Amino acid sequence: MEWKILRLDEVDSTNEYAKKLIPDAPEGTVVVAKRQTTGRGRRGRAWASPEGGLWMSVVLKPPKIDPRLVFVGALAVADTLRDFGIDAWIKWPNDVWVGEKKISGILTEAKGSSVIMGIGLNVNNEIPNELKETAVSMKGLLDKSVNLEEVLKKLLHHLGHWYGVFLENPALLVGEVRERTVLIGKKVRVLQDGGELVGTVVDVSGDGSLLLDVDGQIIKVLYGDVSLRII
Ligand code: ATP
Ligand code: BTN
């Protein structure tokens, strides 16, 4: 993949910026900002994006929009962390965690036939007080600052790799996610629009959904606006 990197000092959200570039921006366009003033997670939740972190959005033009694309980002982040000696796991569907704390989140959005894959990774940034219990940065884990450019370079390399796998055979991505999630066998609470489900995770199925055992019944939880907590 040929990446074309646009660098900004400050922006509301790299996803919003990238969206405005579509449909003209070619596949592989990358928007990176030093800080975001209104970084967002899913459902418009705020994403803390002070200077020092990696806040970026990548424009992809897959042959078809597929919810499993989010795994391309999650696997690429996990591999990047591994390059720095950090062992991370994938919290289905869109987060990367180290131990009990979130280090990265991925927000994929479609516009026309393009996908904007937003990736937020806590690198050298401060974690705001209200998130200290649940969030961590690479600097916090390694006890030293990390070269942000190096992180970006490695992340783009891994994104290219996993996007290639996605184009060839998206089920392979799911296999990898299954390997790297600690959720299987865990009891979880899933919050959805329609209410909540409590069950034990049985598997991540080939289409990317989560299979839950709820009182002996297997329920399929589709990727979407779901929040998941291990209980
Ligand atoms: P969670 O990640 O708490 O399970 P979720 O994945 O459903 O929830 P998202 O919308 O994906 O929620 O992520 C947004 C949440 O991530 C915010 O509500 C906040 O709790 C957390 N968050 C915000 N900024 C950061 C950050 N820089 N690092 C880690 N976590 C953050
Ligand atoms: C999540 O966990 O909900 C996903 C968080 C995604 C954050 C990234 S930072 C770069 C891009 N711009 C945004 O506003 N959000 C994504």
Same-domain status, 53 and 126:
yes
Global pTM reads 0.96
Same-domain status, 25 and 136:
yes
Say yes or no: CB of residue 165 within 6 Å of ligand 1.
no
Q: Whose CA is nearest to atom 9 of ligand 2?
A: 120
Structural domain for 222, as ranges: 187-230
CATH number of the structural domain spanning residue 70: 3.30.930.10
Say yes or no: CB of residue 160 within 6 Å of ligand 1.
no
Total tally of structural domains belonging to the chain: 2
Local confidence band at 86 (pLDDT 50, 70, 90 cut-offs): very high
177-189 residue pLDDT tens: 999 998 999 999 9
CATH number of the structural domain spanning residue 226: 2.30.30.100
User: What pLDDT was estimated at residue 226?
Assistant: 74
The atom of ligand 1 lying closest to the CA of 53 is 27
In the predicted model, what is the mean pLDDT of the chain? 95
Query: Which helix (DSSP H) or strand (DSSP E) does residue 72 occupy?
Result: helix 69-83
Same-domain status, 127 and 192:
no
Q: Which of 136, 157, 179 is the last residue of a domain?
A: 179
User: What pLDDT was estimated at residue 24?
Assistant: 94
